[in-house]
Amino acid sequence: MSKIYKVSQAAELLGVSVSTMQRWDREGRIKAYRNAANRRYYTQEQLNKYLGISEKDRKNIAYARVSSAGQKRDLVDQMDFLIQYCNAKGIIIDEHITDIGSGLNYKRPKWNKLLQEVEDRKVGKIYVTYKDRFVRFGFDWFADFCKRHGAEIIVVNNPKTSPDKELVDDLTSIIHMFSSRLYGLRRYKKQIETDPSLKGGDKND
């Protein structure tokens, strides 16, 4: 079943105003459907057609990630599970991406390249075994980002492919980061207290 969008959602995807969508409907440029309450809505196919995008041109991608090179066995297990899942449903995977890096690292090259392809509307669906394989925090934001560009993240929900040790390591990293910042602030406060020149500036100014 095709996805449907409210007028405001369709307008955001096309980068125009709601009033423009309403005018285009009246002019027949993009004719809106009407629901039982007589409210306008649009389908994914309509928006893709307007944008010149064919669903056949969009890639299905299987994405697997682990935090370190020592977890390559887990990486293989994730990808094997995704391949089995897609094969069972008759889904053809066009690209397999295996990534090594923390889920807290938003500068992962392969991951950023994937997001760029989503933004370029080259991706249809991204298959992951678990939400935190894609990103540790903020998954809903990235899922919405993909949706705005006509893509979808399919989470097959296999928690066995999400190593507990990774969560511990990521939480440890967060604690270490905040501890370092707190230590830095304490040192700065102590420096202010002991250095008269930092207390309200030079009185001779």
pLDDT in tens, 142-154: 999 998 888 999 9
In CATH, the number for domain 4-51 is 1.10.1660.10
What pLDDT was estimated at residue 60? 96
What pLDDT was estimated at residue 193? 66
Torsion region of 82: left, alpha or beta (phi above 0 gives left; psi -120 to 50 gives alpha): alpha
Residue whose structure tokens are 């930092």: 198
CA distance 166 to 88: 29
Give the model's confidence band at 200: pLDDT under 50 very low, under 70 low, under 90 confident, else very high. Answer: low
**Quick check: is 67 catalytic?**
yes
**Full-prediction pTM beyond 0.85?**
no
CA distance 112 to 194: 46
- Give the H or E element holding residue 61: strand 59-66
pLDDT digits (tens, 9 = 90+) for 62-89: 999 998 898 899 999 999 999 999 999 9
What pLDDT was estimated at residue 188? 59
User: With pLDDT > 90 as the criterion, what percentage of the chain qualifies?
Assistant: 53
Residue with the larger pLDDT of the pair 49 and 53: 49
pLDDT digits (tens, 9 = 90+) for 2-29: 678 999 999 998 999 999 999 999 999 9
Residue 169 has pLDDT above 60, yes or no: no
Torsion region of 201: left, alpha or beta (phi above 0 gives left; psi -120 to 50 gives alpha): left
Which among 106, 87, 107 has a CA at the least distance from the CA of 96? Answer: 87
182 Cβ contact partners less than 8 Å away, ≥ 6 residues apart? none
Superfamily of domain 55-161: Resolvase, N-terminal catalytic domain (3.40.50.1390)
What pLDDT was estimated at residue 201? 53
* Range from 47-56, 117-126, 186-195 carrying the lowest mean pLDDT: 186-195
Give the model's confidence band at 126: pLDDT under 50 very low, under 70 low, under 90 confident, else very high. Answer: very high
Residue 100 has pLDDT above 90, yes or no: yes
Of 17, 67, 179, 180, the catalytic one is 67
What pLDDT was estimated at residue 22? 95
What pLDDT was estimated at residue 189? 62
76 Cβ contact partners less than 8 Å away, ≥ 6 residues apart? none
Structure tokens at 101: 């890096």
Q: Where are the domains of the chain?
A: 4-51, 55-161, 172-198
Report the chain's mean pLDDT, rounded to a whole number. 83
